[in-house]
A = this chain, B = another copy of it.
Amino acid sequence: MPTYRLDLSYDGTGFRGYARQQGQRTVQGELESAMSTFLGEIPETSVAGRTDAGVHARGQVVSFQVEGLDEGKLVRSLNAMLGGEIVIRRCARVDDGFNARFSAKARTYRYRLNASRVVDPLRRHDEWTVTTAIEPALLSAAVEHFVGEIDFTSFCRSVDGKSNVRRVQFARWEDAGDERQEFWVKANAFCHQMVRSLVGLSYDVARGHTPLAEVQQIIDRRDRSTMGTVAPPHGLTLWEVEY
């Protein structure tokens, strides 16, 4: 059967995350329900990044196999059913064997922080407004330690026996103007809550709660129980997936 790739964006606010869960409103649940209306069957899908509740996506990728398909018609039909909360950007046939999860070479996430101390009503669902004054230079200094092939056990909920080693290509805070700071991080893959934990630690450093000198020690300890702040999910967006 031919393999197809869907590129989609979503506002994670109203969902209990990407992955289907019994009795919960999820992105996968809504997407597959709309697909089954169009296709007459629920295809088995694979996803690049299983985002948590409240996390958004700009460049999520899903793959599936079906017998023959009018891609343009599928996109229009799904977008009409999904109504703006989930948007299908494109659908294309890809090489046999393509799998949105296992073929992915790298993922990029963005985390948006509002340091103005005043909530912006129009961005309240996609930026974290912190209540404590922060030193932006310390945000940047804190995340320098996270580039390279690193064991992220101190930052990830352990999945028994599985490695938490990930290759991070870049991890940097950028000034987005108007007292907003954006964290951009790209890695081959991420373990659970990894980005939010890195954001939380850099925030703890930038607000003077954790000394900068401790960051490397926290990494080396490989012990999640000592972790501090985990940043809330709504500031996080899965930005891009590379194949």
Interface residues of A (CB under 8 A from B): 9-11, 56, 58, 79, 84-87, 89, 118-122, 124-126, 237
Contact = CB atoms under 8 A, between A and B. Distances in A.
- Most chain B CB within 10 A, of A10, A119, A126, is at A119
Contact of A122 (B79, B118, B125): B125
Contact of A56 (B87, B119, B121): B121
- Most chain B CB within 10 A, of A79, A118, A126, is at A118
A10 B121 contact: yes
23 contacts: A9-B118, A9-B120, A9-B122, A10-B121, A11-B121, A11-B122, A11-B124, A56-B121, A56-B122, A58-B120, A58-B122, A79-B119, A84-B119, A84-B121, A85-B124, A86-B121, A87-B118, A87-B119, A87-B120, A87-B121, A89-B118, A122-B125, A122-B237
A85 B122 CA distance: 8
Nearest to A129: B84
A180 to B, nearest CB: 14
Nearest to A11: B121
Nearest to A119: B87
Given A89-B118, A118-B89, A84 B124 contact: yes
Contacts of A87: 118-121
Contacts of A86: 121
- Most chain B CB within 10 A, of A87, A120, A122, A124, is at A122
A119 B9 CA distance: 9
A85 B13 CA distance: 14
A81 to B, nearest CB: 14
A5 to B, nearest CB: 16
Contacts of A89: 118
Given A84-B119, A122-B237, 15 more contacts: A9-B118, A9-B120, A9-B122, A10-B121, A11-B121, A11-B122, A11-B124, A56-B121, A56-B122, A58-B122, A84-B121, A85-B124, A87-B118, A87-B121, A89-B118
